[in-house]
Amino acid sequence: MRHGQPRDILVLGASAGGLEVLQRIAQGLPRDLPAALFVVLHIGTDRRSQLPAILSAAGPLPAVWAEDGATIEPGRIHVAPPDHHLLIEPGRLCLSRGPRENRTRPAVDPLFRSAALAYGPRVAGVVLSGALGDGTAGLVEIKRCGGVSVVQDPADADFRGMPLSALRYTEVDYCATAAEMAGLLTRFARGQPPPAGARHLPPGTPRRAMPLASGQEEKMTGGYDLKPPVALTCPLCGGAVRETAEDQLPYFTCHIAYFTCHIGHRFAATDMDEAQFREMESALEMALRVLNERSALCRRMADAARGRRAAHSAARWDDAAREAEERAEMLRHFIERGWLRPSPDDEEDRPDIPPG
């Protein structure tokens, strides 16, 4: 990584456990920081969020909800608003209600990708506490365009999934604790070398670099060649899904699957697993509800038949009700047994992190 190159576009992504880290970073930044910060925290559609006010109160820099078309200014924290992706274009911000990525909007990956495409080596991307893998693919774009990548030390994160995913699958330049992060970012912004003792991670073997795709739409989807459709459907819209070809992903240090539907919903493999599991649970619970409703309907039909003195018909409806109840009980037992849920965090081949 080159020193002396100011990184004045600082993009930060966090999910569960990230609020406290963002406050810590805001507290440690100087008033004269020569960089603009852009923050995505997974807040979904919660329009009651007070995130800008919280970050403004934590430190000297003003934090504001990002606005579509707003000018990029140094010394300001731009926060992705609820239910909108925050994108960066040269000199301005763009808000989008485009397809959810990794099951969320705002998502970290769109911010990171757009910053990398707009500002290249001027970008520093930071993945903080959070579950699953949002931000990993975005860090790849930042690295590919000459920027620097940083992750919160998983041992320091309340939820280590996002930092571990970045460390496991991508080339990461630095690993820092929440207490170290503000100082590291300040030095990046000023074009200064990191402080002595900063944990600079040795590079892996990057996959071959790719030229930027032509056309904004291709750029925003990464410009990757896609394999033929796989035997999966999008958990959000039911559309056909394609898997990103691993040999076309530079700066991934090992295989990671990404899935994209024709609408544009995009999932890392871990997020696809989570979305698929929730869809499966919902389908089973719906089946249980329908069986319970069938039992109730059959009992009503049996009572009506008895009122007409149609004994044979009543017996048939009673049998149908019992059948639905028996199968509902079997399904309920099946649901309540629980499921095997492998987690990448449990893998033995966790990435090595140099001691601090």
Cβ(268)–Cβ(256) under 8 Å? yes
In CATH, the architecture of 9-200 is 3-Layer(aba) Sandwich (3.40)
Q: How confident is the model at residue 186 (pLDDT cuts 50, 70, 90)?
A: very high
Cα separation, 40 vs 107, whole angstroms: 7
pLDDT score at 340 = 78
Instruction: Identify the CA nearest to 231 among candidates 239, 241, 223, 221.
Output: 241
The rounded mean pLDDT for the chain is 84
Cα separation, 280 vs 272, whole angstroms: 12
Instruction: Give strand pairing partners of 41.
Output: 14
What percentage of the chain reaches a pLDDT higher than 70?
81
Cα separation, 56 vs 60, whole angstroms: 7
Query: Is the pLDDT at 39 greater than 60, yes or no?
Result: yes
Tokens standing for 314?
């009543």
Query: Is the pLDDT at 132 greater than 90, yes or no?
Result: no
**66 or 275, which is more confident:** 66
pLDDT score at 242 = 79
Cα separation, 315 vs 244, whole angstroms: 57
Query: Is the pLDDT at 32 greater than 70, yes or no?
Result: yes
State the DSSP H helix or E strand holding residue 119, giving kind and residue range, or none if neither: helix 108-119
Q: pLDDT, tens digit, for every residue of 292-338?
A: 999 999 999 999 999 999 999 999 999 999 999 999 999 998 888 87
Cβ(22)–Cβ(39) under 8 Å? yes
Q: How confident is the model at residue 247 (pLDDT cuts 50, 70, 90)?
A: very low
Q: How confident is the model at residue 350 (pLDDT cuts 50, 70, 90)?
A: low
Question: Which sequence positions are flagged as catalytic?
Answer: 15, 42, 134
Q: Before 121, cis peptide (omega within 30)?
A: no
Q: What is the DSSP letter of 20?
A: H
Q: pLDDT, tens digit, for every residue of 71-92?
A: 999 999 999 999 999 999 999 9
pLDDT score at 216 = 35
Over its C-alpha atoms, the chain yields an Rg (Å, rounded) of 25
Cβ(111)–Cβ(11) under 8 Å? yes
Instruction: Identify the CA nearest to 19 among candidates 129, 107, 108, 102.
Output: 129
Beta strands in 214-356 (DSSP E): 226-233, 240-244, 258-261, 266-268
Give the pLDDT mean for 211-233: 49
pLDDT score at 215 = 35
**210 or 46, which is more confident:** 46
User: 336-353 burial, b if ≥16 CB within 10 A, otherwise e?
Assistant: eeeeeeeebbeeeeebeb
